[in-house]
Amino acid sequence: MKKIMIDPVTRLEGHGKIAIFLNDDGGVANVYFQVPELRGFEKFSEGRPAEDMPQITQRICGVCPEAHHMASTKTLDALFHVEPTSAAKKLRELLYSAFYVTDHTTHFYILAGPDFVMGPDAPPAERNILGVIAKVGLELGGAVIKTRHDNHWVIQTIGGRPIHPCFGLPGGVSKAINEEERAKIEEIAKSSVEFGKLSLKVFDDVVLKNKDYLDMVLSDTFTHRTYSMGLVDENNKVNFYDGKVRVVDPEGKEFIKYAPRDYVEHLAEHVEPWTYLKFPYLKKVGWKGFVDGKDSGVYRATPLSRLNAADGMATPLAQEEYERMYSTLGGKPAHYTLATHWARLVEIVYAAERMLELVQDPEITSTDIRNIPKATPDEGVGIVEAPRGTLTHHYITDERGVIKKCNLIVGTTNNYAAFYMSVKKAAEDLIKPGKEITEGLLNRIEMAWRPYDLCLACATHSLPGQMPLEVTIYDAQGNELKKLSQGI
Amino acid sequence: MAKLKVALYWAASCGGCDIATLAIGDKILKLAEAADIVFWPVGLDFKYADVEKMPDKSIDACLFNGAIRTSENEHIAKLLRAKSKIMIAYGSCSYEGCIPGLSNFYDRQTTFERAYIETPTTDNPEKILPQTKVKVPEGELELPEFYDTVKTLAQTVDVDYFVPGCPPEEKTTWLALEALIEGKLPPKGTVISHSAKALCDECPRIREEKKVKKFYRPYEIIPDPEKCLLEQGLLCYGIATRGGCGALCPQANMPCTGCYGPVEGVVDQGAHFLSALASIIDSNDPEEIQRIIDDIPDPAGTFYRYSLPDSLLRRARIK
Amino acid sequence: MDRFDPKIVAFCCNWCSYAGADLAGTSRMQYSPNIRIIRVMCSGRVNPLFVLKAFSLGADGVLILGCHPGDCHYIEGNYKTLRRIPLLKKMLKQLGVEEERVQLEWVSASEGARFAEVADSFTQAVKNLGPSLLHPSKQDSEEEKDG
């Protein structure tokens, strides 16, 4: 059987390759999305002091280090049984909102955008950010560069460094901001809101008004009806920093809603020998294979899933855009994978509006930013929404706070089954007997995974962890023969 | 003048060095003016097959980030070395191993056992492990081999320059790129940074006398914002770390963690920091010294946080 | 290996322990021949790097011998050693080198017998531990031998 390789996948974070096997007649026999990287974070975290974890785990990903830093810092709060001060929480969420603006901007313009702006069949030498800038003009290109640069400045000002910040501690953050910095951040928040609105207009002009693209978005080829997962606040509105994890079924009905410490009851993972990454699924539904639908435990945790899982956005402009998106797509929940790009831009608007709310809060310049932990550390779970999906950190330490076991379920990992299925379906629908397989066609197959904004370094840090488990074996007479346990 | 051909690649990395390259902001347009980027998986669609077709030494410079963890990392490092005139180890992973290097406390077996067998969320009763060659109904699939030991780029191929940092800060990146664009690269083997001295040299905190009777974990105290962090008992690595980053972490009230690598001329960054810490312990009494040392919960992990693969011992030995 | 003959490196300070070793020799005292002596002016000269280098080249044990506290020819040199070695041992343990493979002892110029006794007991202790895991015979094929 003929095998075509797309190696490596490009315009994403991390390493991946796609193997497409063709029948003799030229149709697709099967497709495999392999992830060939692994680094082993959960193993080598063992023996490290817990307070090092925000800085160690953020090296899982340099595109979304703030997500790991934040999840890790929240895990430390739980581990040390210490509540961060009110100002510290706001500073954390302020940095986090600025981070969302940069990361989603990076994805839309640099990673995924070229497919739409330059076209899927454009030559590879042009189908990238430099081609985009040349085509749409220096003004928009300049706005992209400036928005990213400005928000990385915000991250540095609050978090210490523009990439791989250092400010997270159990009970708070290491540094406060002064009024001069606050005022500048406020300006950046305002222009970020404008930039978010501009980006939605770009999406409108380039994608929605282009019939070929709109057909692609709404086509069955790029649709899977799955469960959707996202973090929601007490009003069931999308929140990136804190809340409970909510999962809705393919029809939009709430299926489960859990607090961070209960994640272990709801998620499990499937292994295949041809990839280093595992496939999480909803335990209460079960693993039924690479299929979608209500009876399959496959779920998605993407910007579109977050919007599906929530009842709305917590800020006004974002809420307007949320309503406009669903009305165009024909209702909620939406399962059009390519519409994830749209949801991502709605999230830029929310992140920027949230940034503005927080930076205008009088408490944001407070110097009361640290609570010193008093309790003995033992175990903690922290969850945030990473741009690419729900991110869970779980640490167990000794009484000195040295890591004994570490457990991570990362954004992109949640989506592995789904993006694999998206690629498979696209390949099966686009490669037909007799049809020439061009570079552009292979790129269209890659367009099936790009909406997921893959972060494969994240996904393959290593693999998840510990659940207290006790198994008792009885003989035929009901006598206890053996008791096994781990993590207890 | 003909445009330079530049390639950028990530091995076992986090992608931070690629984002750091973008952090130069609008200077990226200067780079685009001077160079054609012929391979950069994060942002461009050129594939491995495109690199294989290039003539040897046709790439003027390759910025290679990431440590060497798998056979694929090794293969691409050697491929790009053959195709490139200049090989630059960009960022701490390729320079000294960085965080992935902490895996050298363990090995493939213990890493795989934890990931694919021990963890109870894993649903794997048949104990399936990823394989380098797998037969599927349609044919065969391959995965790269996961090595026991993480290596640096220089332990794998000949390297011309090193750009330190995790990731390199904007000004360090531009120092290297500007030299490349203007054809003014320093002597081969140079570690490119604004400083060859320890970070203390550029840190604004006030240094008086280093005598410590107790080391503190960062969450235990709120440090004085003006004074040297090491003098306050925090394990600030600046004393044994190359400067050039602007001392950002100490200015955020957090101790330096050592990501810019060793000071010029130092062979083993961890041993250097160990010596520095030992020399500021304020005691001559063996019992008191032991108590002070016990305040440091993870010496090897802290001292070799970024540099274990590049250290003298390279990795921990496991029985 | 049936008969394991450890390689021990001993850093001896010029003024006390090296003289003590000399005395053991001129007095024709018998002691384990496994010790390779490297003379330094002061035990405080022993950079942790030297100890790591010795292990990386195949040493099974490292001794650091200096003047008794208070007797250092350079007044404070041996106190610096006293602070350094315990921290080095703690770190080495995490790297798979047992703490018992590194020992700091005070031996004066007149303690020839003590030198011989330290050499013997340390050699025996290292024999009991077996070859260091960094020993060239235990290197796996991926390792390069250069330092």
B99-133 pLDDT, tens digit per residue, is 999 999 999 999 998 888 887 678 888 999 999 99
The percent of residues above 70 in pLDDT, for chain A, comes to 94
Pairing of strands C8-13, C35-40: parallel
Q: Residue C3 falls within a domain, yes or no?
A: no
- What residue of B is the nearest CA neighbor of A470? B120
Q: Are B204 and B256 in contact (CB under 8 A)?
A: no
Task: Provide, as residue numbers in chain C, all residues whose Cβ is less than 8 Å from the Cβ of B298.
Answer: 94
Structure confidence by residue, pLDDT tens digits, A230-279:
999 999 999 999 999 999 999 999 999 999 999 999 999 899 999 999 99
> How many beta-carbon contacts under 8 Å exist across A and B?
282
Q: Is residue C146 part of a domain?
A: no
In angstroms, the CA B306 to CA B166 distance is: 9
Place domain B4-99+150-181 in its CATH homologous superfamily. NADH:ubiquinone oxidoreductase-like, 20kDa subunit (3.40.50.700)
- When scoring A5, A44, A282, A394 by the number of chain B Cβ atoms within 10 A, the one with the most, hence best to mutate, is A44
Cross-chain Cβ contact A463/B115 below 8 Å: yes
Tens digit of each residue's pLDDT (9 = 90 or more) over B72-105: 999 999 999 999 999 999 999 999 999 999 999 9
Residues in B touching A271 (Cβ below 8 Å): 116, 122-124, 128
CB C7 within 8 A of CB C59: yes
DSSP B226: S
CB spacing of C84 vs B275 below 8 angstroms: yes
- Distance, CA of C59 to CA of B155 (rounded, Å): 23
Interface pTM, i.e. ipTM: 0.96
What residue of B is the nearest CA neighbor of C130? B319
Q: Where are the alpha helices (DSSP H) in chain B?
A: 16-22, 27-34, 48-53, 71-83, 92-96, 108-112, 170-181, 248-251, 269-280, 286-293, 299-303
C48 Cβ under 8 Å from any chain B Cβ: yes
Q: What is the pLDDT of residues A192-230, one digit of tens each?
A: 999 999 999 999 999 999 999 999 999 999 999 999 999
What is the reported pLDDT for A124?
A: 87
Q: How many CB pairs under 8 A join B and C?
A: 87
Q: What pLDDT does residue C145 have? A: 35
Report CA-CA distances (Å) from A2 to A5, A27, A423, A438, C17: 10, 10, 18, 16, 74
Q: Which residues 49-108 of chain C have a CB within 8 Å of chain B?
A: 49, 52-53, 55-56, 69, 79-80, 82-84, 86-88, 90-91, 94-97
Note whether B99 contacts A174, CB cutoff 8 Å: no
Chain B interface test: which of A1, A9, A15 (most B C-beta within 10 Å):
A15
What pLDDT, on the 0 to 100 scale, is given for residue A460? 78
Distance linking the first and last C-alpha atoms of chain C:
25
pLDDT band of C19, cuts 50, 70, 90: very high
Nearest residue on chain B to C135, judged by CA atoms?
B317
**pLDDT of A375 over the 70 cut:** yes
The pLDDT assigned to A466 comes to 30
**Where residue A478 falls among pLDDT bands split at 50, 70, 90?**
low
Gap from C80 CA to chain B (nearest CA, Å):
6
Delineate the domains of chain A, giving CATH numbers in brackets.
2-459 (1.10.645.10)
Asked if B271 lies within 8 A of C52 by C-beta distance, the reply is yes
Look-up of token digits 């080391």? B215
Q: Specify the higher pLDDT residue, A456 or C79.
A: C79
Chain C's closest residue to B266, CA to CA, is C49
Contact C133 B317 (CB under 8 A): yes
pLDDT single digits (tens) A271-308:
999 999 999 999 999 999 999 999 999 999 999 999 99
What's the Rg (C-alpha) of chain A? 23
What is the arithmetic mean of pLDDT over A331-340? 96
The CA-atom distances, in angstroms, between A365 and each of A173, A183, A360, C75 are 13, 10, 10, 52
CA distance A67 to A189: 19
Parent domain of C118 = 8-137
CA distance B289 to chain C (A): 6
In which band, very low, low, confident or very high, does the pLDDT at A464 lie, cut at 50, 70 and 90?
A: very low
pLDDT > 70: what percent of chain C?
A: 90
Q: Which residues in chain C are closer than 8 Å to B279, comparing Cβ atoms?
A: 80, 83-84
**CA distance to partner chain A, nearest, from residue B28 (Å):** 9
User: How many structural domains is chain C composed of?
Assistant: 1
pLDDT at A21 (0 to 100): 94
pLDDT bracket for residue A486 (50, 70, 90):
very low
CB contact under 8 A, B293 and C96: no
Q: Do A44 and B106 touch (CB under 8 A)?
A: yes
Q: Given this model, what pLDDT does residue A456 score?
A: 86
Q: Band of the pLDDT at A487, cuts 50, 70, 90? A: very low
pLDDT at B1 exceeding the cut of 90? no
Cβ of B312 under 8 Å from any chain C Cβ? yes
Residue C147 above 50 pLDDT?
no
Mean pLDDT of chain B: 95
Cβ within 8 Å, pair B316-C87: no
Helical (H) or strand (E) element with C88: helix C77-94
Q: Is B287 on the interface with C (CB under 8 A)?
A: no
Under 8 Å between Cβ of B223 and B251:
no
- The mean pLDDT of A160-186, rounded to a whole number, is 97
Mutate which of B284, B295, B304 to disrupt the C interface (most C C-beta within 10 Å)? B284
Residues A61 and A452: beta-carbon distance below 8 Å: no
DSSP E strand boundaries for A337-386: 379-386
Query: Across residues B240-256, what is the average pLDDT?
Result: 97
Q: For residue B105, which residues of chain C lie inside 8 Å, CB to CB? A: 94
| DSSP annotation of B198 | B
Helix (H, G, I), strand (E, B) or coil at B167: coil
pLDDT of residue A467 exceeding 50, the answer is no
Instruction: Calculate the average pLDDT of chain A.
Output: 92
The pLDDT of residue B15 = 94
Q: Write down the pLDDT at residue C25.
A: 95
C147 against A90, higher pLDDT:
A90
Q: Return the CATH number at C56.
A: 3.40.50
Using one digit for the tens of pLDDT, what is the confidence trace for C69-88? Answer: 999 999 999 999 999 999 99
Quick check: is C56 in a domain? Answer: yes
The beta-carbon neighbor of B274 closest among C88, C132, C144 is C88
Alpha-carbon distance A352 to nearest alpha carbon in chain B (angstroms):
20
Domain locations in chain B as residue ranges: 4-99+150-181, 107-147, 199-303
Res. A479: pLDDT tops 80: no
Q: Is the pLDDT of residue A463 over 50?
A: no
Question: In C, which residues are within 8 Å of B277 by CB distance?
Answer: 87
Nearest CA in chain B to A131: B44
Question: Residue B26: pLDDT band by 50, 70, 90 thresholds?
Answer: confident
Q: Which of B105, B155, B277 sits opposite C144 (nearest CB)?
A: B155
Interface test with C, best of B145, B149, B274, B298 (most C CBs within 10 A): B274
Q: What does the alpha-carbon distance between residue B88 and residue B175 come to, in Å, rounded to a whole number? A: 13
Find the CB nearest A62 among B15, B25, B111: B15
> Strands B4-10, B59-65: parallel, antiparallel or unpaired by DSSP?
parallel
